[in-house]
Structure 1
Amino acid sequence: MPYFVYILKSLKDSGYYIGHTKNVERRLREHNLGRVKSTKCRRPFKLIYTEKFETKKEAFAKEMYLKSPEGYFEKLEIVKKFGA
């Protein structure tokens, strides 16, 4: 089963959240229901980006890359393209 990296945009503060999961729809629902501690106070969210990977290891590596200084410009491009 594939894994996905996803980016959410908070409709409350216009900030972004990056994560990885097997089930994007379920995970978005969890974020919007307040079941994720780190995003609970930033609800609601909309999904702006997903990227598919064959393994959890690959998805996690991409998530960490996008959260790192090295991945900043790629994240910025994704946000500019899809984050409106």
Structure 2
Amino acid sequence: MKYFSYVIYSQESGTFYHGYFEDLEKVLEMHNADEIAPTKGKGPWVLMFSESYDNRMRAIRQASFYRSVKGQRFLKKMLNF
């Protein structure tokens, strides 16, 4: 089974969200339907970046890295923000 580490962005609120999930399309739909508490009411959300992993723990670690200061700097540089 594949797991995804992903980064979504809401231009309206200027907010990034970093997470992991098994089904990338489904989780994006869930974010945009306000079914996930941390992103509720802050959308619409657009997928900015994702990576796939064969291991759930690796996806979790990568999502945690993107939440760190170093990870945020890396993403902003990579995504030209």
Return the TM-score normalized by structure 1: 0.86
**Structure 1 pair 68–41 and aligned structure 2 pair: CA distance change class (3 A):** same
Q: In structure 2, how many angstroms separate the alpha carbons of the residues matched to 1:44 and 1:14? A: 11
Partner secondary structure for residue 42 of structure 1: coil
- Aligned runs of 1:68-83 on 2, under 5 Å? 68-80=68-80
Deviation at 1:55, TM superposition (A): 0.6
Deviates more, 1:25-34 or 1:63-72: 63-72
Partner secondary structure for residue 38 of structure 1: helix
Quick one: which amino acid aligns to residue 7 of structure 1? Answer: V
Residue 15 of structure 2 is aligned to residue 20 of structure 1: no
Q: Runs of 5+ in structure 2 lacking a partner? A: none
- Aligned runs of 1:27-38 on 2, under 5 Å? 27-38=27-38
Q: Which runs of 4+ in 1 moved over 3 A?
A: none
Q: Runs of 5+ in structure 1 lacking a partner? A: none
Quick one: which amino acid aligns to residue 53 of structure 2? Answer: F
Return the TM-score normalized by structure 2: 0.89
The residue number in structure 2 matching 1:61 is 61
Aligned CA RMSD, in angstroms, stands at 1.4
Deviation at 1:53, TM superposition (A): 1.0
Contact 1:8 1:46 in 2 (8 A): yes
* Percent identity over paired residues: 23
Q: In structure 2, how many angstroms separate the alpha carbons of the residues matched to 1:34 and 1:3? A: 22
For residues 2-42 of structure 1, give each alpha carbon's deviation from its aligned partner in whole angstroms, at most 9, with x where no partner exists: 11111111132122111101101000000000101110120
